[in-house]
Amino acid sequence: MEESIKQEFTITVYTENQVGLLNRIAIIFSRRKINIESLNTSPSEAEGIHRFTIVINEYEDVVRKLCRQIEKQVEVLKAYFNTNDEIIWQELALYKVPTEIIAEKVLVERLLHKHGARAVVIRKDYVIFETTGHREETEGLINALAPFGLIEFVRSARVAIIKASSGFHEKLREFEAYQPAEELSENEYLGKREGVFSM
């Protein structure tokens, strides 16, 4: 049997309410001494449902247990985990460089074209470039701009969409269709709920 290795996983958490939840989720990771590489919160495709996107480097069995622990939080509807091959993801990066770089316009144009970047602010003292892509792509532009005197750099948290997912709002509609009627026992209801939310 092949020994498991640490790899990058993206955890997607759907939640009804995010007030105080971020702190409780962070505690789950800190207690296990797991470093969060990236964390993003945003509205989801379902009205009133928020989405957390968390990136970590860990063993798959550890990530599986983490998702189960996260799902124990009252507000959490479901937590999924995926490898990089199972998602479409991007990061946004901004780079501030001295305006003198513009003096070599041809070089700059080639540089921006090669890295899929564009100028978003041009001032007397500095220019800000923007690009999106995977980590290695945004870091490639750091290396390219370094000789020109990179003043400042910032990268956003990951945004990701699961390739195989049909959309959480569809799962939510299925779940709502299973709201317990008077004749439906609690165990039957919970069993149906679990079946709906398994992907």
> What SS3 class is residue 131?
strand
Domains of the chain, with CATH numbers?
A: 88-159 (3.30.70.1150)
What percent of the chain has a predicted confidence (pLDDT) above 70? 79
| Residues sharing a CB contact under 8 Å with residue 87, sequence separation 6 or more, in sequence order | 10, 160, 161, 162, 163
Token pair of 41, please? 């919160």
Token pair of 58, please? 């860990």
Of 87 and 106, more confident: 87
Kindly report, residue by residue over 60-93, the tens digit of the pLDDT: 999 999 999 999 998 999 999 999 999 999 999 9
What is the model's pTM? 0.77
H/E element holding 50?
strand 50-58
Q: By mean pLDDT, which of 15-24, 34-43, 127-136, 164-173 is the weakest?
A: 164-173
